[in-house]
Amino acid sequence: MRRIFQSLATILAAFVTMAGAAPDPAWAAGERDITVAQGIDAEFLDVQMTNNIVTLIINTSIYDTLLTRDKQLQLVPALATSHRLVSEKVWEVKLRPGVTFHNGEPFDATAVKFSFERIYRADFKSPQKGWFSTIERVEIVDPHTVRFHTKVPDPAMPARMTLMYQLAPKYVAQVGDVQANLKPVGTGPFKFVEWTKNDRIIVEANDAHWSGKPAVRRATWRPIPELGARIAALQTGQADLIVNVPPDQLQTLTATRSVRVEKMPSCRIIYFGIAQIKGGALADRRVRQAINHAVDVQGILDSVLQGNGKRINSSMPPNVWGYDPSIPFYDYNPKKAKELLAAAGQTNLQLTLQAPNGRWAMDKDIAQAVAGQLTENGIKTNVKIIGEWGSYVRSVLDHKTEDIFMNGWCLPSLEPDHWVTPNLHTGEPVSQYSNLEVDKLMEQARAEMNTEKRKQLYSQLLRLIRDDAPWIFGYQQMDIYGVNNRLKWTPRGDESIRLTEIGF
């Protein structure tokens, strides 16, 4: 018996010693090293294999694009120093000289052509194929000049160039796709060091970067899916920057002195699509408008999200070019809703609303709040939570959604057409709506090269959309971050995190 106790004591002592020997709370090794904790791990470090925002954020530290957006989301040069329209369907782009990939390979026009063509290789499963579908081919004029030939006049080209990540042709050809994903090589401000799946990705500063020496020396990207653990990691100093903090957790962070909260209106909008294509009551505009009047969006924002969200008046958030602030919101007017329903002969309407669980901040809670309000105001609404994101996406893409479906939307291009066509044009996978007049306006605006005229067209289009009410117009999300006070950083409006924008 004594021996058992002795061995137990030894084991316990070992545990206690290990605990005591825990490294000091600033887990990062050096003073200018940081740790960023997001919710999931990068899917790929081959940037062309993904369209997922978290993965793109991590990849943006390793790869550059031709153009990029500054803090104010204005287009600025990156690997492309200038661009101009040579003719209606030809764009000429001048490349930055003297840039090399992390392995020493020089960056030039062949890289641009290679990177573009790789996405469209038949055996390459890239989700980015839809991003550049208007480009017919890339022409190499000289080592530092390329020309993009588009199939149709495409005013969105500069926006597309902010998504053209550049890969090293000789490296990829040499090591193959699998290795290019596991050991990425780019021209970016940070070089890849190591990747342990679901554990961490380490990158270190590329002092030879064309934008200068980064202030951050080493960065560790860590996926911490559980919100409580992520917040705890920030509080203990294990992480310096965390993302996706829901409004209800803010008081935990404000109570911790070493950290602060940063907020930024997102490019992501949350709306409740009404499946008009299902016909019946939903095909009647009056019913859809009634639905909009029956939900107190502002009230829900104020209570559930504690004011962290801004109502949208149509299908675009304020920070996308083309937004028209003069378009009116639907006021919360249950009486008007009842009148409209009566006029449409739908006094006993019963609907089902579907929402995911955990995809967006407080999604299922907001969905339940919306359904609750609709029910209170004469439209009995059932909530169906579809926890599995795959099924959720499928129901949308297969056009088999419930009557109302919650959705979030943000494309990194910030190109106005991407805010109307994919989710409202007839026949588009995400769209559960069909209106030929709206379609026509979309197509017109998409091809209009004159900026002034284009803006007017979008105003018109957005107003039309608002009046036809294919959605319950929800809100622009507020991206909330938790930051350690030793970092000097403010968020961007496009959900991205640029390590080069972090200082001390």
Partner 1 sequence: MSDAVSPAAVADLRPVAPAVRRRLSFRAVFGIVVLLLMGGAALAAPQISPWDPGRQMLVKRLRPPMWQERGLREHPLGTDHLGRDILSRILYGGRISLGVGLSAVTLSGLIGVTLGLLAGFHGGRTDAFIMRVVDVFLAIPYILLAMGVVFALGPSLLNVILVMAVTRWVQFARIVRADVLSIREREFVSGARARGNRSVRLLLKHVLPNALTPIIVVATLELAFMIIYESALSFLGLGVQPPTPTWGWMLSDGRNYVATAWWLATFPGLAIMLTVLAVNLLGDWLRDTLDPRLKV
Partner 2 sequence: MLAYVLRRLLQSVLVLLGVSVIVFGLLHLTGDPTRLLLPLEAREEDVRQLRALLGLDDPLWVQYLRFLSRAVRGDFGLSFKHQVPALTLIRQTLPATLELTAAGLALALVVAVPAGILAALRRNSLLDAVCSVGVLLGQAMPVYWLGLLLILVFAVWLGWFPAAGRDGPASLVLPATALGAFSMARIARMARSGMLEVLAQDYVRTARAAGLRTFVVTYKYALKNAAIPLVTIVGLEFGILLGGAVITETIFAWPGVGRLAVDAIFSRDYPLVQAIVAMLATLFVLINLAMDLVYTYLDPRIVFVRSKQ
Residue 202 dihedral angles phi and psi, to the nearest 5°? -110, 130
- Selection from partner 1, partner 2, none that 276 binds (CB < 5 to 8 A by kind) is none
Which of 147, 278, 336, 384 binds partner 1 (CB under 8 A)? It is: 384
Which of 164, 369, 404, 502 binds partner 1 (CB under 8 A)? It is: 369
Q: How far is the CB of 364 from partner 1 (least distance, A)?
A: 7
3-state SS, residue 253 = helix
- Amino acid identity for residue 447 in this structure: A
Instruction: Print the binding letters for residues 317-356 with partner 1: x by CB under 8 A, - otherwise.
Output: ----------------------------------------
How buried is residue 135: exposed, middle or buried, by Cβ count under 10 Å (0-12/13-18/19+)?
buried
- Which runs of consecutive H residues, i.e. helices, occur in 434-473? 436-447, 451-468
Q: Let me know: does 473 contact 329? Beta carbons within 8 Å.
A: yes
Query: Which residue, 218, 223, 275, is CA-closest to 244?
Result: 223
- Selection from partner 2, partner 1, none that 310 binds (CB < 5 to 8 A by kind) is none
User: Taking CB under 8 A as the rule, does residue 248 contact partner 1?
Assistant: yes
Query: Which residue, 23, 29, 19, is CA-closest to 240?
Result: 29
Q: How far is the CB of 252 from partner 2 (least distance, A)?
A: 9
Which of 130, 387, 429, 503 binds partner 1 (CB under 8 A)? It is: 387
User: Taking CB under 8 A as the rule, does residue 228 contact partner 1?
Assistant: yes
Count of residues engaged in binding partner 1, rule: CB under 8 A: 24
How buried is residue 272: exposed, middle or buried, by Cβ count under 10 Å (0-12/13-18/19+)?
buried
Residue closer to partner 1 (CB basis): 10 or 350: 350
Which of 6, 251, 450, 490 binds partner 1 (CB under 8 A)? It is: 251
Distance between CA atoms of 412 and 51, rounded to whole angstroms?
A: 9
- Selection from partner 1, partner 2, none that 262 binds (CB < 5 to 8 A by kind) is none
Q: Strands 218-223 and 33-38: what pairing?
A: parallel
List of residues 6+ apart from 477 with CB closer than 8 A = 265, 266, 268, 269, 270, 309, 360, 361, 408
Which of 90, 175, 227, 344 binds partner 1 (CB under 8 A)? It is: 227
User: Which stretch in 43-51, 93-101, 155-163, 367-375 sits in contact with partner 1 by CB under 8 A?
Assistant: 367-375
Tokens of 154: 């495409």
DSSP codes of every residue in 168-206: -HHHHHHHHHHHHHHS---SSSEEEEEEETTTEEEEEE-
Q: How far is the CB of 438 from partner 1 (least distance, A)?
A: 34
User: Which stretch in 14-22, 193-201, 205-213, 382-390 sits in contact with partner 1 by CB under 8 A?
Assistant: 382-390
User: Which stretch in 248-256, 341-349, 395-403, 428-436 sits in contact with partner 1 by CB under 8 A?
Assistant: 248-256
User: Taking CB under 8 A as the rule, does residue 496 contact partner 1?
Assistant: no
Distance between CA atoms of 414 and 416, rounded to whole angstroms?
A: 6
| Residues at the contact surface with partner 2, assessed by CB under 8 A | 1-5, 8, 11-12, 15, 18-19, 21-23, 25, 27, 43-44, 49, 51, 125-130, 133, 177-178, 181-182, 196-200, 222-226, 228-230, 232-233, 235-236, 238, 388-391, 393-394, 397-398, 422, 429-430
Q: How far is the CB of 106 from partner 2 (least distance, A)?
A: 28
Q: Strands 309-311 and 471-484: what pairing?
A: antiparallel
Residue closer to partner 2 (CB basis): 130 or 345: 130
Q: For residues 454-473, which are near partner 1 according to CB under 8 A?
A: none
Q: Let me know: does 374 contact 295? Beta carbons within 8 Å.
A: yes
Q: How many CB atoms within 10 Å of residue 246?
A: 17
Distance between CA atoms of 441 and 63, rounded to whole angstroms?
A: 36
- Which runs of consecutive H residues, i.e. helices, occur in 210-249? 227-236
Distance between CA atoms of 495 and 480, rounded to whole angstroms?
A: 10
Which of 196, 258, 303, 347 binds partner 1 (CB under 8 A)? It is: 303
User: Taking CB under 8 A as the rule, does residue 300 contact partner 1?
Assistant: yes
Residue closer to partner 1 (CB basis): 23 or 390: 390
3-state SS, residue 473 = strand
User: Please, which residues bridge with residue 148 across strands?
Assistant: 91, 138
Cα–chain center distance at 386? 21
- Selection from partner 1, partner 2, none that 339 binds (CB < 5 to 8 A by kind) is none
Distance between CA atoms of 376 and 296, rounded to whole angstroms?
A: 11
Distance between CA atoms of 167 and 184, rounded to whole angstroms?
A: 9
Residue closer to partner 1 (CB basis): 31 or 388: 388
- Selection from partner 1, partner 2, none that 25 binds (CB < 5 to 8 A by kind) is partner 2
User: Taking CB under 8 A as the rule, does residue 212 contact partner 1?
Assistant: no
User: Taking CB under 8 A as the rule, does residue 298 contact partner 1?
Assistant: no
User: Taking CB under 8 A as the rule, does residue 383 contact partner 1?
Assistant: yes
Q: Which residues of this chain interact with partner 1, rule CB under 8 A?
A: 227-228, 246, 248-249, 251-252, 299-300, 303-304, 357-358, 362, 364-365, 368-369, 372, 383-385, 387-388
